[in-house]
Structure 1
């Protein structure tokens, strides 16, 4: 685990409840999750990469009857996820070294997690995600919109820093294509004075 990734882990361990409470709703994720539900087969196998406390993604998908595997590096987040979404499976792992069997999932969801990884590891992770998807499998992912790497002290007004690294949306779209994923749509998700890119991508059918 890199120094930067460990900083992210410690930040979420410290600020888990400040980031999202147990009673948080689906808020801005709801339209994305509704769209994902409509594109999945019954009892789909879904990977929630960077699952946090399991709310809202893992909980929404598990409630809909899907088989959810959540992956995160924060022990506190995972302890909460196992309590809040008992029907899902949660694994502690560093996404940069995560190894999963090929064609394991009908969908992979990675919201606001890729941008916490060192930039040099991100293209390789996207390539591995493509191998984990089954033919016609879906990827829902948020990335950076503009390139930026940096940290914020006292993140969320708490007693821990946080760190991010991302390139621009055009580069992410190129990485998705290079991983042989078809981009169905790309949109800008505003946040503060900037924002993120939301991509829907799909692994081609055989």
Structure 2
């Protein structure tokens, strides 16, 4: 069952579907970390899960153009409708990322760009554990987490009600390790399209 906070996020992104892409469609920071994910994939034919895919731009679009099979998940029906139009070569579904299930070792990579910060901090460890299960050995997880003091916030954002939550950088990194992932890169970076910092990580599921 979808949680109250997940419903807030989904309804907010329904309302902001076009405005969000106009405001945040371009980011050099996101592109650098997307490039790290793409570099870890086979030349073609990789299987990638895009958690919180939004309208499919740029993550699902760029990966599909490189010849990879992309599955995008988002709680917003309006965002998914746009993703299906924008990236017809990928597969998209309306779903709560905390509830969706996949077989073990399904994906070569999982990306979560600006989406985990909408998940209640107490639920993030279980989500990360699921990501670790879904990855194939040697698979990569590239994601952003909230930075700064841990906490939760609900309020007006870009003209719609929205929810954000994070556990803090040290706790997020510990949760990745607890899930059996090895963090290869991590950095707190200021966004180039808004005055906010995110913790970015690239983690690998060990072989064997």
> In structure 2, do the counterparts of structure 1 residues 202 and 53 end up closer, same or farther at CA, with 3 Å as the change threshold?
same
The answer on whether the counterparts of 2:37 and 2:141 sit within 8 Å (CA) in structure 1 is: no
Residue 70 to residue 53, structure 1, CA distance change in 2 (3 Å): same
1:91 deviation in Å?
A: 1.1
Q: In 2, are the aligned partners of 1:71 and 1:91 still within 8 Å (CA)?
A: yes
Moved more, 193-202 or 60-69: 193-202
- Determine if contact 1:70/1:90 at 8 Å carries over to the other structure: yes
For residues 26 and 87 of structure 1, the distance between their equivalents in structure 2, rounded to whole angstroms, comes to 23
Aligned to 1:183: 183
RMSD, aligned CA: 1.7
Can you list the C-alpha shifts for 1:81-105, whole angstroms capped at 9, x where unaligned? 0000000000111111111110000
User: Residue 26 and residue 56 in structure 1: after superposition, are their counterparts in 2 closer, same or farther (change >3 A)?
Assistant: farther
| CA deviation after TM superposition for structure 1 residue 4, in Å | 1.0
CA distance in 1, matches of 2:138, 2:20: 33
TM-score by length of 1: 0.94
Secondary structure of the structure 2 residue equivalent to 1:186: strand
Q: 1:43 corresponds to which residue?
A: 45
Give matches, 1:167-178, under 5 Å: 167-178=167-178
**1:189 to partner: Cα distance:** 1.6
Is there any run of 5+ residues in structure 1 with no aligned partner, and where? Answer: none
- Within-5 A mapping of 1:126-205: 126-146=128-148, 147-153=150-156, 155-156=157-158, 158=159, 160-191=160-191, 194-205=196-207
Q: Verify the 8 A CA contact 2:30 2:113 in the aligned structure 1.
A: no
d(CA) in 2 for partners of 1:133, 1:195: 27
Deviation at 1:135, TM superposition (A): 0.3
Name the structure 1 match of 2:17: 16
SS of structure 2 residue aligned to 1:13: helix
Residues 5-55 of structure 1 deviation map (CA, whole Å, 9 limit, x = unaligned): 100000000011111049944643222222222221121000000000000
3-state secondary structure, aligned to 1:48 = strand
Pair 1:18–1:174, CA change in 2 (3 A): same
